[in-house]
Structure 1
Amino acid sequence: MNFADLVKPTAIKVLAGVSSKKRLMHDVADLASSAYGIDASLAVEALMERESLGPTGVGHGVALPHARISDIPEVAGTFILLEKPVDFEAVDRQPVDLIFGLFAPTDAGVEHLKALALVSRTLREAQVCKKLRANPDPATLYTILTEPHSVQAA
């Protein structure tokens, strides 16, 4: 599995002026809706339900909100770069500006976990995050995400 399997160019966005974690969840869901046809209201509900189990802000300005949704054919990802970081209740209490949303079918099983591991390993790499933050163009962000990375196994 690689990033090109998870995210398509239309599922990448740069946003300014996101005011809260809740607003950001709506933006992630709206992007999934426009890129993959996922029902935005179901996506927000699933993301918020998952978030209630524990924050998905993993530290160093990165958040990986994810949810399982019925009626989607395969694992699908969205990526948002925020021009101004927002509080996300991350484990290190730092605001986030790199958000990779992941949606999986309810019966995805190991595919969902493989996708989450791939995203997590990649966005743990300081050089990858630095490149993403330095390039506020969706096409460039897609290229950075989908290029081969030398990430360590989890």
Structure 2
Amino acid sequence: MYLHELLTPALTFCNLDGGSKKRVLETASKLIAEQAQGLAAEEIFSGLIGRERLGSTGIGSGVAIPHCRLESATQACGMMIKLADPIDFDAIDNQPVDLLFVLLVPSEATEDHLQTLAMLAELFNRAEVLAALRDTTSDQQLFDTALRLAEH
């Protein structure tokens, strides 16, 4: 699955207030539920927190990819967040996180889920991508930059 198939301008947020890992996941869950038909904020949050209990989705370099599979999801959905201030996310390198990509997929989409996570991890492992995303100042600019960089 490609980034342009997952991400919409309505689910791209630049300079979002974070506060804490739990608060960011709660906020993301509510914002996604407002946009995605048939998904409840409580179910999303429960799925994301459940996955975090297995181990942090903070992949290093200030990036986290919180993700989960949901019974009620009919298609994959993504959300891009650039936080106003980095937060502790228990990342593997112990660095605070300021860039997040939240990924929700249908429960039966195991192979697609893994391929999409690999694509995201590869994208966010590039220093020039992280620098360009961190230089954005608006939701639309963050969206446009993410899609442009994912094409290369």
TM-score, length-scaled by structure 2 = 0.93
Q: Partner of 1:58: helix, strand, or coil?
A: strand
Cα–Cα, structure 1 residues 140 and 92, in superposed 2: closer, same or farther, change >3 Å?
same
> Structure 2 CA distance, aligned partners of 1:90 and 1:148?
23
Structure 2 alignment gaps of length 5 or more: none
Question: Deviating runs (4+, > 3 A) in structure 1?
Answer: 148-151
> Structure 2 CA distance, aligned partners of 1:83 and 1:148?
21
> Residue type matched to 1:48 in 2?
I
Over the matched positions of the two proteins, sequence identity in percent amounts to: 32
Partner residue, 2:101: 100
Partner residue, 1:118: 119
Aligned-pair CA distance for 1:16: 4.2
Could you say what the CA RMSD is over the residues aligned between the two structures, in angstroms? Answer: 1.4
Cα–Cα, structure 1 residues 126 and 64, in superposed 2: closer, same or farther, change >3 Å?
same
Cα–Cα, structure 1 residues 128 and 148, in superposed 2: closer, same or farther, change >3 Å?
closer
Aligned-pair CA distance for 1:150: 6.9
TM-score, length-scaled by structure 1 = 0.92
> Residue type matched to 1:25 in 2?
L
1:11/1:79 contact within 8 Å kept: yes
Partner residue, 2:8: 8
2:14/2:82 contact within 8 Å kept: yes
Between 124-133 and 139-148, the greater mean CA deviation after superposition: 139-148
Question: 1:58-114 CA distances to partner (integer Å, 9 max, x unpaired)?
Answer: 000000000111121111100110010000000010100000000010001211111
2:64/2:99 contact within 8 Å kept: yes
1:84/1:97 contact within 8 Å kept: yes
Partner residue, 1:33: 33
